[in-house]
């Protein structure tokens, strides 16, 4: 007397690779690593975007530091020129004209 599983016809319709326990464990592992784990794909993607943004900001700050160093050296060399150009200081009987290069 052989007892047959009543769900056997449904199980037979599932392709063999999907019934393989190793395939199921591997599929579960990938699902877990991509969506559920602490270091999942979405978290890694967000972190990489944050790193890229920070590197961009770092480059911007380096450029600002270089400009500040240049301005400091310019101030040390010629304080009067710096005061006239940056703060528009002038004597009472003169006009100051500032001509800027088109490069900036």
Distance (Å, rounded) from C-alpha 72 to C-alpha 49?
35
Q: Are 41 and 34 in contact (CB under 8 A)?
A: yes
Distance (Å, rounded) from C-alpha 8 to C-alpha 5?
5
**83 and 44 part of one domain:** yes
The reply to whether 102 falls in a domain is: no
* Residue-wise pLDDT tens digits, 22-49: 988 999 998 988 888 888 888 999 999 9
Q: Are 17 and 23 in contact (CB under 8 A)?
A: yes
* Residue-wise pLDDT tens digits, 7-22: 888 878 888 878 888 9
Number of domains in the chain: 2
Q: Quick one: which of 7, 33, 35, 4 has its CA closest to 19?
A: 7
Is the pLDDT confidence value at 1 over 70?
A: no
The reply to whether 20 falls in a domain is: yes
**34 and 45 part of one domain:** no
* Residue-wise pLDDT tens digits, 45-92: 999 999 999 999 999 999 999 999 998 888 888 888 777 777 777 778
Please report the pLDDT score of residue 75 as a whole number.
Answer: 82
Distance (Å, rounded) from C-alpha 97 to C-alpha 94?
10
Which domain does 62 fall in, by range? 40-91
**45 and 34 part of one domain:** no
**28 and 51 part of one domain:** no
**3 state DSSP class of 89:** coil
H or E stretch covering 62: helix 41-77
């Amino acid at each position: 007397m052989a007892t047959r599983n009543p769900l056997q016809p449904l199980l037979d319709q599932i392709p063999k690779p999907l019934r393989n326990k190793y395939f199921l464990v591997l599929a579960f592992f990938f699902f877990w690593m991509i969506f559920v784990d602490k270091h999942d794909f979405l978290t890694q993607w967000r972190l990489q975007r944050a790193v890229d943004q920070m590197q961009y900001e770092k480059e911007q700050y380096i450029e600002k530091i270089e400009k500040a160093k240049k301005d400091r050296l310019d101030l040390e060399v010629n304080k009067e020129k710096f005061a006239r150009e940056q703060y528009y200081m002038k004597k009472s009987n003169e006009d100051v004209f500032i001509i800027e290069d088109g490069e900036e």
